[in-house]
Amino acid sequence: MSVGRRRDEGPSGFLVVDKPAGFTSHDVVDRARRWLGTRRIGHLGTLDPLATGVLPLAVREATKLVPFVEGGRKRYETTVALGAETDTLDADGRVTSRHEGALPDEASVRDALSGFIGEIEQVPPMYSAVKQGGIPLHRLARKGAEVERAARRVTVYRIDLLHFEGASVDLAIECAAGTYVRVLAADLGRRLGCLAHVAALRRTASGPFTIDAAETVEALDAAVDSAHVAERLVPATAVLGLPLLRLEPDEARRVLHGASLRAPAGAPMPDPGTRFSAVDASARLVAVLEVAPDRSLRPLRVLGSA
C-alpha cells in the first residue's frame, strides 16, 4: 500500500523579515521553513549577505502570487565608501584598486549624484545571480572568471544625500526593481575619479512591504516557541491591494476549476485589464481575476486559499 504525499495545509500569506547582516536570503528562507513547518516558501528579491532590511517571504499558496508583487519600487539607505573599489563592489569583497589622491568635496558628490537620476544603464556585477549561459555570474566570479555583460536599463527615482564626511557618503535611494546599489556606488566613484564601494546597505521598502512591518529573526525565533509566527503573516489581499470581489459558493467552485465568470447583466464593468482579488464567503482569496475584452472575468491565478 503506497502512502500519498500529505497535503501542505496551514496559513498562507506574506512574512516580512528584517534580514540581518551575514545571512543570505536563502538562509532566511531555511529559517522560515522551520518557523512555519512548510517548504513552500519563497523570497521576493535577493539581498546580499552584507545587506540588511526588508526581505518579504511568500508562504504556501501565496507563492503563486509572487509575480504580482515582486516588481515594485525599492528604497535603500546605504553608506558609500570613497577611495577604493572591490571585486564584489561592497565591503565583503577584496580591494582591487585604491585612489591615492585627494577625495572630492560634498558639492562634487552632489553634482555627480544628479547624473544618476532617471533612466540609466548598469552593467550587472560579476557577483550577482544574473545568469549567463545558464550559469549564475557569481559562480563564474568565484572561479576567477570575468565575462562580458550587457548593460541593462534601470530607473532611479531619487537620491538624497543624508550625510557627507570625508570618505563616507550616506544616501537614501528610491529605484525600480533590478537596480544594483553596488553598481551605482561603483559608477559614482568612477565618475568622481576616486573609486567607491558600498560599505553598508539597508533595504527599507520593497514594493508594498516596509521596514515598519518587518520582524527580526530573533523575534521570530522566539515566537516559534509559542506558535505565534503564523500570526505575523500579512494577508495576500492586503498585499495585492486590488478591489475585492466576493464570490457566491457556486462561482468560487467554478473559478477554482479555472473557469471564467460572466459579467453581471446590466452592471457597469471596469475596463478590460482591471484586476480583482476574488474571495469566498470566508474572505479567503480564491483567485486573481481580470476583466477580459468580452466582459468576462478570467482567472489569472487560482489559489486554494491565501
- Catalytic residue numbers read 48
Q: What is the spatial distance between Cα 143 and Cα 120, in angstroms, rounded to a whole number?
A: 30
Q: Give the burial class of 262: count Cβ atoms within 10 A of its Cβ; 0-12 exposed, 13-18 middle, 19 or more buried.
A: exposed
Q: Is 81 left (phi over 0), alpha (psi -120 to 50) or beta?
A: beta
**What's the gap between Cα 136 and its chain centre?**
18
Which residues, 6+ apart, have CB-to-CB distance to 56 below 8 Å? Answer: 14, 15, 16, 17, 43, 44, 45, 69, 206, 207, 209
Which residues, 6+ apart, have CB-to-CB distance to 301 below 8 Å? Answer: 64, 65, 68, 287, 288
Match 568635496 to its residue by C-alpha cell.
105
- For residue 274, report the phi and psi dihedrals to the nearest 5 degrees: -65, 135
- Does residue 305 contact residue 283 with C-beta atoms inside 8 Å? no
Q: What is the spatial distance between Cα 266 and Cα 264, in angstroms, rounded to a whole number?
A: 6
